[in-house]
Amino acid sequence: MLINNDTIIKDTDPRIRMKSKPVSLPLTEEDKQLLTEMYTYVKESTDPELAEKKNLRPAVGISAIQLGVPKQLTAVIVKELDKNENEVVYEYMLANPRIVSSSVQKAYLESGEGCLSVAEEHEGYVVRSARVTVQGYDLLTDQKITIRARGYLAIVLQHELDHFSGTLFYDHINAGNPFPKVADAVVI
């Protein structure tokens, strides 16, 4: 499947609101190929030359429903700095991931969130859990895994898993108060 900015469905397409179904494990060859292509999109989208050549918008994640495929598949690549300022790269090709626990403490991106399926800018804080534990099958490691995520990675995982229920990031923005003061929130 060709994945680029033209083939990713936008929020004007009703399919983006469809509920995604779990996939069978072990993964079919078709699901493995789709997940691999999604991962490749995310990886290549952050290379300016490849992004321009292949018509890719920069991304840290993509879910299958964004390609019109209502399956619980998502690929995520997040680069962060650890406490010693060393780059850490989190890479996942997840099937059937689900949040099994989340913190009471909240977090949000100060600059707001964006999405490959959303062309227009939507200003406001998307308040999410600061920490989540996600379980699912990871094709990269070929095993069921548990991810204990905090900060930016936690936000990205929640954003991608929201797609499984047809939820877009701006659904979380309070129209009456888009920039609320959130006590004790982690601001990223």
Half-sphere exposure of 83 (CA within 13 A, CB side): 0
Q: Are strands 106-108 and 186-187 parallel, antiparallel or unpaired?
A: parallel
Q: What average pLDDT does this structure show over 18-35?
A: 98
pLDDT above 90 for 60: yes
Q: Which amino acid is at 4?
A: N
pLDDT at residue 83 in the model = 87
103-158 pLDDT, tens digit each:
999 999 999 999 999 999 999 999 999 999 999 999 999 999 999 999 999 999 99
Q: Is 22 a domain residue?
A: yes
129-142 pLDDT, tens digit each:
999 999 999 999 99
pLDDT at residue 94 in the model = 98
Residue 160 is a catalytic residue: yes
Q: Is 3 a domain residue?
A: no
Looking up residue 116, the CATH number of its domain turns out to be: 3.90.45.10
Q: Is 8 a domain residue?
A: no
78-90 pLDDT, tens digit each:
999 888 999 999 9
pLDDT at residue 40 in the model = 98
Q: Is 36 a domain residue?
A: yes
Q: Is 183 a domain residue?
A: yes
- Dihedral (C-alpha) 60, 166, 15, 94: value to the nearest 10 degrees? 40
Q: How many CB atoms lie within 10 A of CB 55?
A: 12
Instruction: State how many domains the chain has.
Output: 1
Radius of gyration of the chain (CA): 16
The rounded mean pLDDT for the chain is 97
Structural domain including 38 reads 14-187
pLDDT at residue 81 in the model = 87
Q: Is 1 a domain residue?
A: no
pLDDT at residue 38 in the model = 98
Question: What percentage of residues in the chain have a pLDDT greater than 70?
Answer: 100
Enumerate the β-bridge partners of residue 150. 131
Question: From the candidates 29, 37, 80, 160, which is the catalytic residue?
Answer: 160
Q: Is 125 a domain residue?
A: yes
pLDDT at residue 156 in the model = 98
pLDDT at residue 45 in the model = 97
Q: Is 39 a domain residue?
A: yes
